[in-house]
Structure 1
Amino acid sequence: MSERTYDLVVIGAGPVGENVADRAVQGGLSVAIVESELVGGECSYWACMPSKGLLRAGAALRAARAVDGAKQAVTGEIDVAGVLRRRDSLTSDWNDASQVEWLQGAGVDLVRGHGRLSGEKRVEVTGPDGSLTTLIARHAVAVCTGSAALLPDIPGLADVSPWTSREATAVQEVPGSLAIVGGGVVAAEMATAFVDLGSEVTLIARSRLLGPMEPFAGDLVAQSLTDRGARVLLHTDLVSAQRVDDGQVELELSNGTRVRADEVLVATGRVPRTDDLGLDAVDLQPGSWLDVDDTMLVRGSDWLYAVGDVNHRALLTHQGKYQARAAGDVIVARATGGTIDDAPWGAHVATADHGAVPQVTFTDPEVASTGETEASARAAGRNIRVLDYDLSWIAGASTRSDAYSGQARAIVDEDRGVLIGATFVGADVGELLQAATIAVVGEVPLARLWHAVPAYPTLSEVWLRFLETYGRPNV
């Protein structure tokens, strides 16, 4: 067994771990990063990038077919092989050589293998060849191992070899039929993608679609899937699963019906990748989410950090990278005796995790949201006003499509006169999101937003319509 010593040891070389490591190196620390799979992590190979690759062709085709003059040029259907080739390009054919090169250029040492905590500031790495290396951290260890798909304990489900998001995004042969269990973002996006790719899709959700979002978001996405030929079964539970003689999966549902499909995708949630991390060696519960403060320091510790999905604050790549920037900087500050800026919105905290998280769901129609929903704001006891607007009424919508449809909602904190949340549903609304996020994070007074003039004719005119709905400020 060999030993190496670094200022910081990072477990997990996905986007989150890479950013923690990079910030620490920029601050003058020596860093080793441990990875048991591909450098670049879930986002690069099995989540964000490949899923958007599968979705883009369908979105582009629908956009062309929605405009007279362009739709006449559309003479065929989606080329599935072309979609998969583009997906493969986006994942670099599941080859992490370029990501490894980036790490080396950044000055971060890569240690291949499975890392486990073996004591305070100690990480034992089992290499692919079975060799053992102990990494000793002078100052900190950062756990950035992410999350994995949850497989619910339903009779027969494990025996039918269900897909998770990994199998769905890495698909090599599109099944003739696909049953999707779940109603969240992964389920909705993969339903959209596989309808585009020609599968007969049945989506089974125990509640409504996109439950944590504004209700109209899930309703519009469910209606679109139905209109495009998918079967959407809401408020329905999966009771059991089995493979039948012809090789298909048969699902028994709580309403007594049975659904058959060539494959079943389970997208019912995530679990932390901490079950084989050696947490018991540092008096933490294996398999648990890691509870952290706003600097990503695990509560009760002065050396262990948990960044990204694994802390269960906001399971989104961009939010994990945001946490990573704060964590990397605060690790440097604590290691070098620097000043800690841990006040709200300080350089060393992830304040935006609390009520200012942006997200785009790449369904048809697209859903973009940030901050509070009406339900979450009321549950928090806020004094709010809800502003709703039909996006089809905006001139910029009519120039994009012959029959644009969409909905927008803003949540206003009446006590402070600021925006605390917004949701947009419609084609291309993801590009509206950063303006909304800036308004929420910056706590921009609505009276000042009257002077942020939206260009005409664009979808951004919705900002003026929100203000007109709210009413002119008293002067």
Structure 2
Amino acid sequence: MDAAEYDLIVIGAGPVGENVADRAVQGGLSVAIVESELVGGECSYWACMPSKTLLRAGAALAAAVDAPGALPAASGPRRVDVAAVLRRRDEIVHEWNDAGQVQWLQDAGIELVRGHGRLTGEREVTVARDGADAARLRARYAVAVCTGSAALLPDIPGLADARPWTSREATAVQQMPESLVILGGGVVACEMATAYASFGVAVTVLARSALLHGVEPFAGEFVTDSLRAAGVDVRTDAQVTAVVREDDGRVRVDLSEGESVTASEILVATGRVPRTGDLGLEAVGLEPGAWLDVDDTLRVRGSAWLYGVGDVTHRALLTHQGKYQARAAGDVIAVRAHGGEVDDAPWGAHVATADHDAVPQVVFTAPEVAAVGLTAAQAEERGIRVRALDVDLAQIAGASTRAAHYRGQARAVVDEDRGVLVGATFVGEDAGEMLHAATIAVVGEVPLHRLWHAVPAYPTLSEVWLRWLEAYGRESAVST
């Protein structure tokens, strides 16, 4: 079997792999990308894009209901048109057809190899192809693993046999169930509970702890209250002991307290695992199924040629962070291939520094949750002398003009010794649109005294920045 040779071989053609490949091509390298499913990956077909489409109609309707005059008084039942939402979802995912993405690869000068790629030696990838002989690919300089992550299936008796949904089935749904029980309290669980409740599905959420653990506690409390107001049965501190798919097709979930919950379907949203189990890692001395331990240039530690980019690194399981990593990785692979100088200092061109302290994330619940950087608790754990500044967003003029019953909160986390922002969290309608300003402030380490000169427009929600500064100034005066 002859081997085709390229400068770089990328395994996985999701957004991360596409960006690694594109940056490397722009850097003058020849690149092959290997994909066993759809080009465009999880985000395009089963995650970010379809999930946000499923959520949009409910959010728009809720906003209209809370804006007096937006809906006629005699407008009839105020319900989401589920069929229309699913049609729009199908348009967004292009009916799960990747022809457009394949054309993009061709236009970018990236060669696509269809099939399942496995490492079979140093700088060597063998691709199993349906109906054809395997293809052996050789990399002159590097191989980048960009295979992403998959839903974790917890070891609960009967769960695997109950044919549970994961996020893939939830976002690709064709026929709405009457009821849905969701295991988990993280982003996927909260977003899908929000979407399915807007579709009129009876939803139960079973979480082992408070919702949205890992962000500021008040964010999870807002989302919990909102879900319950929408009719969702949210149960925290829930311990599932067994799952059974009954003869009538319904699912029964047994709890440690002796109670049971039944539903038409069950969605498991309890975490993610790396898609590295059948990747041939053992052929290069690594543990199959493990997360890849990489340095800040995304090169696997101990290797001179193997890179891990995106979810497989377990650094920040978010599409935008994966693409950020991909830009750094593609550029540094090209620079190293040409013998150039690597800029691997913190915040350098070839590193993913923001993965550590400045990761932005939006949870598209109702209300939205948007956060960047450290929570107050995380900052304190790092030994930072912290001041948390809290503002009720409902008291901002821009909120009163948007909705009759706006609810929200914003927290800034200040490093007192340096006088800079190290974290920010916003909860409220369209909170995600306020996030990037905070991301810039955190990444740029903009001094708070300088932010007094960044004047927010009136009346907008961005006036929260002025309220933060006023609170900081007043509290500083009191403390001195």
Band the TM-score falls in, shorter-chain normalisation: over 0.9
Specify the alignment match of 2:154 in structure 1. Answer: 152
1:257 Cα deviation from its structure 2 partner: 1.1
Specify the alignment match of 2:61 in structure 1. Answer: 61
CA contact (8 A) 1:2 1:132 kept: no
For 2:90 and 2:198, the matched residues in 1 are separated by: 17
1:129 Cα deviation from its structure 2 partner: 1.6
For 1:125 and 1:246, the matched residues in 2 are separated by: 43
Specify the alignment match of 2:40 in structure 1. Answer: 40
Specify the alignment match of 2:144 in structure 1. Answer: 142
Specify the alignment match of 1:101 in structure 2. Answer: 103
For 2:2 and 2:113, the matched residues in 1 are separated by: 12
Equivalent positions of 1:100-119 (< 5 A) are: 100-119=102-121
Q: Alpha-carbon deviations, 1:162-216, whole Å to 9, x = none?
A: 0000000000001000000000000000000000111100000000000001101
Structure 1 segments of 4+ aligned residues over 4 angstroms from their partners = none
1:375 Cα deviation from its structure 2 partner: 1.4
* SS of corresponding position for 2:4: strand
Specify the alignment match of 2:437 in structure 1. Answer: 435
For 1:75 and 1:51, the matched residues in 2 are separated by: 27
Q: Given residue 233 of structure 2, which amino acid in structure 1 is its aligned partner?
A: R
For 2:115 and 2:246, the matched residues in 1 are separated by: 39
Specify the alignment match of 2:231 in structure 1. Answer: 229
Q: Given residue 265 of structure 1, which amino acid in structure 2 is its aligned partner?
A: L
Specify the alignment match of 2:14 in structure 1. Answer: 14
Q: Given residue 281 of structure 1, which amino acid in structure 2 is its aligned partner?
A: A
Q: Given residue 129 of structure 1, which amino acid in structure 2 is its aligned partner?
A: G
For 2:279 and 2:363, the matched residues in 1 are separated by: 31
* SS of corresponding position for 1:409: strand
* SS of corresponding position for 2:227: helix
Q: Given residue 392 of structure 1, which amino acid in structure 2 is its aligned partner?
A: A
1:374 Cα deviation from its structure 2 partner: 1.0
Report whether the alignment pairs 1:49 with 2:49. Answer: yes
Report whether the alignment pairs 1:417 with 2:409. Answer: no
Specify the alignment match of 2:76 in structure 1. Answer: 75
Specify the alignment match of 1:315 in structure 2. Answer: 317
For 2:82 and 2:406, the matched residues in 1 are separated by: 27
* SS of corresponding position for 2:72: helix
Q: Given residue 100 of structure 2, which amino acid in structure 1 is its aligned partner?
A: S
* SS of corresponding position for 1:87: helix
Specify the alignment match of 1:300 in structure 2. Answer: 302
Specify the alignment match of 1:211 in structure 2. Answer: 213
For 1:368 and 1:334, the matched residues in 2 are separated by: 37
Question: Could you list the runs of 5+ residues in structure 2 that have no partner in the other structure?
Answer: none
1:2 Cα deviation from its structure 2 partner: 3.7
Q: Alpha-carbon deviations, 1:205-228, whole Å to 9, x = none?
A: 000000001101111101101011
Equivalent positions of 1:359-398 (< 5 A) are: 359-398=361-400
* SS of corresponding position for 1:71: coil
* SS of corresponding position for 1:10: strand
1:131 Cα deviation from its structure 2 partner: 1.6
Equivalent positions of 1:130-209 (< 5 A) are: 130-209=132-211
Return 251-260 or 364-373, whichever deviates more.
Answer: 251-260
For 1:2 and 1:367, the matched residues in 2 are separated by: 52
Instruction: Indicate the RMSD between aligned Cα atoms, in angstroms.
Output: 1.1
Question: Could you list the runs of 5+ residues in structure 1 that have no partner in the other structure?
Answer: none
TM normalised by structure 1 equals: 0.99
Q: Alpha-carbon deviations, 1:329-387, whole Å to 9, x = none?
A: 00001000111000000000000001100000000110000000011111111111000
For 1:459 and 1:303, the matched residues in 2 are separated by: 47
Return 8-17 or 235-244, whichever deviates more.
Answer: 235-244
Return 250-259 or 159-168, whichever deviates more.
Answer: 250-259
* SS of corresponding position for 1:462: helix
- What percentage of aligned pairs have identical amino acids? 70
1:130 Cα deviation from its structure 2 partner: 4.2
* SS of corresponding position for 2:182: strand
Q: Alpha-carbon deviations, 1:55-103, whole Å to 9, x = none?
A: 0000000000001111326434111100000001110110000000000
* SS of corresponding position for 2:273: strand
